[in-house]
Homo-oligomer: A and B are copies of this chain.
Amino acid sequence: MAQDNLSLVLHAKEDLRLENRPIPEPGPNEVLLQMHSVGICGSDVHYWQNGRIGDFVLKKPMVLGHEASGRVAKVGSEVKHLKVGDRVAIEPGVPREMDEFFKTGRYNLSPTIFFCATPPDDGNLCRYYTHSANFCYKLPDNVTFEEGALIEPLSVGIHACRRAGVTLGSTVFVCGAGPIGLVCLLAAKAMGASQVVISDLSEERLLMAKDLGADFLLTVRRGDGAQQLAKSVEEMLGAQPHITIECTGVESCIQTAIYATRSGGVVVLVGLGSELATVPLINAAVREVDIRGVFRYCNTWPMAIAMLASGKVNVKPLVTHRFPLEQAVQAFETTRQGLGIKVMLKCDKNDQNP
């Protein structure tokens, strides 16, 4: 076993450092993981640039990274379902308390949950990392480490589509073709959506969406009216979509989402914007268009692994860039500039394969 534990630590706003930390010991219900692939998320970059997201404020140095997979290097005394050498995907949120949310199966809502790279909890952009064994899921041989890491963003898409109730023959409008919009597209298709319209400002991102299976692309120009865009969506599909999944957080997109959705349908809010939003709530209310939020996910890893193993969902094209952990700052800069879709950091010096 290697001796160093190179880690990407955010010390303060705009102060990102690669430094060596001690290799931790797993507790009785934990495993020590040799990290393999960790994707960079918009939130990682946001903490780097701003030192905070909403009420979560960086107050002490924190390791970044939460889209991750690795190999079991050591097993805690109570752990039964994993053994050294197992390849696993890591669910970054681990509830700390057995509160009402956990007991009822919605542990993502537990206010005291541990979450990788959400202050003050350390993430896993490092060489060695310990995690609750119950939230590490064994990968089948035909699922790569990178696919394993991509389960994290994919889970947001699965949870969004599940909360939306996507089912056979659903028509879906996805606002925004960033990484999150794209995983919503993939999840919607896998759950039986017959047609998906996806919108973005960027032609390039829309082309990626097309490759991933989008049926219609809606190029948005800043200043386009919400009702007019809603009309365009209706015209593309021949009817209003049953479901809209908002993945930009932009106020005008939330407006479009409401106007666009069919009566009795659902708008899911994935994108996170400003605290107050001005929206046509009455339009939604009198047409019984439900508005449902998404906070991360829960209970998605097993189904995501099943889908990846069966080959029914293909997330591989999402990875557009790869960097060794040593070049993490460069990698972050790539994401910051909005180049490509997903940047992967390769944490295992001896295995930089997907």
Q: Is A201 an interface residue (CB 8 A)?
A: no
Tell me whether B161 and A187 are in contact (CB under 8 A). Answer: no
Of A192, A270, A291, the most chain B CB neighbours within 10 A belong to A192
A163 — which chain B residues lie within 8 A by C-beta? 288
Number of chain A residues whose Cβ lies closer than 8 Å to a Cβ of chain B:
68
Residues of B within 8 A of A306 (CB): 169, 171, 194-195
Copies held by the complex: 4
Chain B residues with CB under 8 Å of A167's CB are: 162, 167, 191, 303
Q: A109 contacts B288, CB within 8 Å?
A: yes
Chain B neighbourhood of A195, CB < 8 A: 306, 310
B269 and A275 contacting across the interface, CB-CB below 8 Å: no
Q: A158, A162, A187, A310 — which one has the most chain B CB atoms within 10 A of its CB?
A: A310
A279 smallest CB distance to B (angstroms): 6
A334 at interface, CB cutoff 8 A: no
Contact A288 B294 (CB under 8 A): yes
Per-residue CB proximity of A164-188 to B under 8 Å, as 1/0? 0001111100000000000000010
Judged by a CB distance under 8 angstroms, whether A274 is at the interface is yes
Q: Is A288 a contact of B280 with CB atoms below 8 Å? A: no
Contacts of A215 in B (CB 8 A): 310
Q: Is A293 an interface residue (CB 8 A)?
A: yes
Is A2's beta carbon under 8 Å from chain B? no
Are B293 and A284 in touch, CB under 8 angstroms?
A: yes
Question: Which residues of B sit under 8 angstroms from A208, Cβ to Cβ?
Answer: none
| A22 lies within 8 A of chain B by Cβ | no
Q: Establish whether residues B303 and A293, one from each chain, have CB atoms under 8 Å apart when the complex forms.
A: no
Q: List 5 A-B contacts (CB under 8 A).
A: A101-B263, A106-B288, A168-B191, A191-B192, A284-B291
| Among all A-B residue pairs, the 6 with the closest Cβ atoms | A105-B105, A169-B303, A285-B293, A194-B306, A269-B285, A291-B291
